[in-house]
A and B are shown apart, each in its own frame.
Chain A
Amino acid sequence: DVKVTQSSRYLVKRTGEKVFLECVQDMDHENMFWYRQDPGLGLRLIYFSYDVKMKEKGDIPEGYSVSREKKERFSLILESASTNQTSMYLCASRIFSGNHNEQFFGPGTRLTVL
């Protein structure tokens, strides 16, 4: 089974702090994704990476950056956390092979910025 893990389930930070959210997958998937989930808005794509050291902006990249130095690990960085970044953050990975392009998700990190 694919396993996607995220470093924290719950995180509380203060405005202006630098925040790192870590995601690790164990299935050698090329593609990895970061989403945020907010009530009534579903999941929105922040950044994705189609391979090591490659990254692309998603729909809402402002205020975020990412790092992918190793295939299994994809980090989301909030350079200076703000209260409007309080949200649930979900990491996902995927192997893209023909039609097999469903994503596998981690348990999520609920971040609160005070």
Chain B
Amino acid sequence: AQKVTQAQTEISVVEKEDVTLDCVYETRDTTYYLFWYKQPPSGELVFLIRRNSFDEQNEISGRYSWNFQKSTSSFNFTITASQVVDSAVYFCALSEANTGGFKTIFGAGTRLFVKA
């Protein structure tokens, strides 16, 4: 069965600090996709990144970076030099190719507070 665990319920940092959001997943499928979404206070989830199981390259996009490690089943998300606008709930998600990608499992989310 597929499962996504975001152990950090809430994180509070001061602006300009670096912060890492953890995500651990479980799956029996060999082909799967991992995602991160951001949900700002407005409520609309915004897609940040997708990673497929064959691509373990880490990715950097501006202040955001992602570390995908199949050996530990983790897909962690780091924000460098955090800003107040980064305050949001962040969801990690997993979908397996054998479901046609139709059943995406979301973690419980991590609420990030960035204080000025």
A residues sitting closer than 8 Å to B (CB atoms) are 9, 31, 35, 40-45, 48, 50, 56, 58-59, 88, 90, 92, 96, 99-108, 110
Contact = CB atoms under 8 A, between A and B. Distances in A.
Nearest to A58: B103
Contacts of B100: 50, 96
A45 B50 contact: no
Contacts of A35: 106
8 contacts: A40-B9, A43-B91, A48-B103, A100-B50, A101-B33, A101-B50, A105-B44, A107-B42
Nearest to A4: B44
A104 B47 contact: yes
A90 B45 contact: yes
Which of A35, A101, A104, A106 gathers the greatest number of chain B CB atoms within 10 Å? A101
B91 A99 contact: no
Given A107-B43, A108-B43, A43 B33 contact: no
Nearest to A49: B102
A90 B50 CA distance: 20
A104 B37 CA distance: 10
The 10 closest A-B pairs by CB, nearest first: A42-B106, A105-B45, A43-B106, A108-B43, A102-B47, A42-B108, A101-B101, A107-B44, A102-B50, A107-B43
